[in-house]
């Protein structure tokens, strides 16, 4: 079976029923990096609405609370009405259904990311009917990850260049 990857823009509001094209961009975002912000920036022309879903996984130890992560991300997009930020703690396809989203937006930095996201895309399409849009990381962000930023913070290094600045 072919992987469920949507790599083409299919344009605007659904003309048959007038609904908005909504995509969800999900992750733990602990912290939200310049790479994440670049994916949102590049996805905005493709969607009428993007919901950034901050995943809450009780088994995962995070540097910041989910509430703090939502607050920080929401402040970055306070001037962009097409971007909303919410937490979720269930399956991504269930979050997509609640948000009336037909698409999951994912960033890909490497072949390892690609293979993982391809498998997830197939499952999400099978169980939830949601398509996945992959946006490949810009070269300058390929090595930026939340775990790398947390590691630098742990050792007292500056991470300013890896975190987005509110404009």
Q: Just list the catalytic residues.
A: 36, 60, 109, 146
Closest CA to 78 of 66, 70, 68: 70
What gap in Å lies between CA 148 and CA 92, rounded to an integer?
24
Chain-centroid distance of CA 26 in Å reads 4
- Are the CB atoms for 68 and 36 separated by under 8 Å? no
Sheet holding 49-55, edge to edge: 5-6, 131-136, 103-108, 22-27, 49-55, 83-88
| Token duo for residue 6 | 């949507």
| Token duo for residue 126 | 């099978």
- Are the CB atoms for 22 and 48 separated by under 8 Å? yes
Is the Cα torsion angle 9, 39, 70, 166 positive or negative in sign? negative
């Amino acid at each position: 079976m072919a992987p469920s990857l949507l790599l083409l823009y299919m344009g605007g509001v659904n003309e048959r029923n007038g609904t908005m094209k909504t995509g969800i961009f999900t992750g733990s975002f602990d912290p939200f990096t310049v790479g994440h912000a670049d994916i949102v920036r590049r996805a905005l022309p493709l969607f009428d609405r993007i919901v950034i879903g901050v995943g809450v996984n009780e088994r995962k130890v995070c540097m910041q609370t989910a509430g703090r992560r939502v607050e920080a991300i929401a402040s970055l997009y306070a001037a962009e009405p097409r971007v909303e930020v919410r937490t979720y703690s269930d399956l991504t396809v269930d979050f997509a259904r609640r948000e009336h989203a037909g698409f999951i937006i994912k960033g890909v930095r490497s072949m390892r990311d690609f293979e993982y996201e391809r498998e997830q895309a197939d499952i999400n399409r099978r169980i939830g009917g949601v398509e996945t849009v992959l946006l490949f990381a810009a070269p300058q962000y390929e090595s930026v990850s939340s775990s790398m930023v947390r590691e630098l913070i742990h050792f007292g290094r500056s991470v300013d260049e890896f975190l987005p600045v509110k404009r």
